Chains A and B, each alone.
Chain A
Amino acid sequence: MSRANFNALSETDLLKIFDSDPGIAEAKYLELCEKLHRFFEWRHIADPSDLVQEAIARGLSNLQAGKQITSADPAHYFFGIAHNLVKEKWKSRKQEQLKEQDLHPKKSAFMGLEGVEQGIYLQQCLKELTQEDFDLLLAYTEGSAAEWGLARGLQPGAVRLRVFRLRKRIEERVRSRIAMAARKS
């Protein structure tokens, strides 16, 4: 997820909205962008990335004009803007006639990496998981997460959320490895 381009407000100023600690602020900002992207996908928006930038830019512009974020979580504020953008039908999805090869993309878009790189980073992060977390993930990929949860007295809904958070954690770890590799090179 790339950062939006802002002219008037610096990146540091933007991140301060999310947290005074730069590391936490950046993580929260990236999480917000991911969530907005997903939200626009759910609403069938043609170019979710464009709209994520638009939502952030509008929010920032409002803040520069003197508006205050009243909710405890700034993400709520940006979600409100995103919601309005969708209502404006800024860009509505056109059902494209896809060619056969488009239906089965050869390349993966996971975190913008090629297949081999993805596999390596992912495997490295998976190896760091505890046995229990790994067993859960294995059960999830094999379709037996509900049984895994039942054996431990967990309801399917709780297992599902646990897997969701686990996947998020893995993605964060992969992202951090990518950033580390980028710094080294």
Chain B
Amino acid sequence: MYREKEDGLTGNDQQIIRYLLHEAGEEELSMMEERLLSDVSFFDLVASIEDEMIMQYVRGEMEPDLKQRFEKSYLASPERRARIESARQLRTAVHTVAATRALERSKKRIFFPLPVRIAFTAAALAVVVWWVWWKTPATQIKTGGTEVAMSVTLQPTRNRSAEGNAGAQFGIAADIQEIHFFLARKQVQADQRYQVILGTPERPGIFSGTARVENGTVAVTVPAKLLAPGDYTLELQSIAADGSRQPLTTYYFRVSN
């Protein structure tokens, strides 16, 4: 968000934003052009603020007032719409490569001798089972004495390698038919429509479905049979009124044996 404290925006930055949105008065405009002509680094500053503003719009995190001003100026120009589209593509490509890199990292893990691995797996499994049964974020729903669904809360993580872990990890018991994912997010708009795309780096779209807003989080149900042991990404997208999708956050998780 463009907030002075957090982003270090100065009065000068606000002036640049007014210039970019065609809101600068004659005097301010003339001053800006003078600087653009005389100072090469100022051009880069203006361009970098423009890029950042566009990316903020693409993330869907622009404050309503600025969003309105931005759309008035940017959606009216084909060239500027192309810049928005470029930013959107860059973001998608970065997400895809992030997932690939995370997988490559996980493949490079050190392998221990078989007995150690068996012991470690058994211990880990015991912990996972205990966790699934007794603790959040994963809980199970019983129907007629049989567990048919489980719930998992996913937190947004930068990526697996950066966090030093694999995001949420859990096992799925044989009887489980559905997984209810709750996607934690800073801002959830009750009237916003969402969808998710589940994938692995090799198979980016193994499942897509509409998500719902529940208790301030976004929730989606995924058939358990789709989740073989392995690493997954769950991309949350917003759905605009015209049906276009915009990626918001990618969640990572691992299904263990």
Residues in chain A within 8 A of chain B (CB atoms): 35, 37-39, 41-42, 44, 48, 73, 75-76, 79-80, 83, 86, 93, 95-96, 98, 100, 102-105, 108-110, 115, 118-119, 122-123, 126-127, 131, 134-135, 137-144, 146, 155-157, 160-161, 163-165, 167, 170
Contacts and interface: CB of A to CB of B under 8 A. Distances in A.
Contacts of A93: 77
Majority-rule SS of B interface residues? helix
Contact of B86 (A42, A108, A127): A108
A35 B90 contact: no
B249 interface: yes
A119 B158 contact: no
Given A127-B97, A141-B91, A164 B51 contact: yes
Contacts of A103: 75, 81, 242
Given A139-B158, A164-B47, A79 B37 contact: yes
Interface in B17-47: 19-20, 22, 33, 36-37, 40, 43-47
30 contacts: A37-B79, A42-B20, A42-B50, A44-B22, A73-B40, A76-B37, A86-B33, A104-B240, A104-B242, A104-B244, A108-B82, A109-B82, A119-B93, A122-B89, A122-B93, A126-B97, A134-B97, A134-B98, A135-B162, A137-B94, A139-B158, A140-B55, A142-B249, A156-B7, A156-B8, A157-B8, A161-B44, A163-B51, A163-B52, A167-B51
Of residues A75, A115, A139, A157, which shows the largest number of chain B Cβ atoms within 10 Å of its Cβ?
A157
A112 to B, nearest CB: 10
A134 B95 contact: no
Give the interface residue-count category, chain B: 35 or more
Contacts of A96: 76
Interface string B66-102: 0000000001111111110110111111111110110
A109 B47 contact: no
Of residues A44, A48, A138, which shows the largest number of chain B Cβ atoms within 10 Å of its Cβ?
A138
A25 B93 CA distance: 30
3 closest residue pairs by CB, A with B = A109-B82, A164-B48, A156-B8
B85 A109 contact: yes
Contacts of A80: 37
B212 interface: no
A141 B55 contact: yes
A1 to B, nearest CB: 12
Given A35-B47, A138-B98, 19 more contacts: A39-B36, A73-B40, A103-B81, A108-B82, A108-B86, A109-B86, A123-B96, A126-B93, A126-B97, A134-B94, A135-B159, A138-B159, A143-B61, A157-B8, A161-B45, A163-B48, A163-B51, A164-B47, A164-B51
A83 B49 contact: no
Nearest to B86: A110
Interface string B56-68: 1001010000000
B51 A134 contact: no
A160 B159 CA distance: 21
A119 B43 contact: no
Nearest to B49: A160
B191 interface: no
Contacts of A127: 97, 100-101
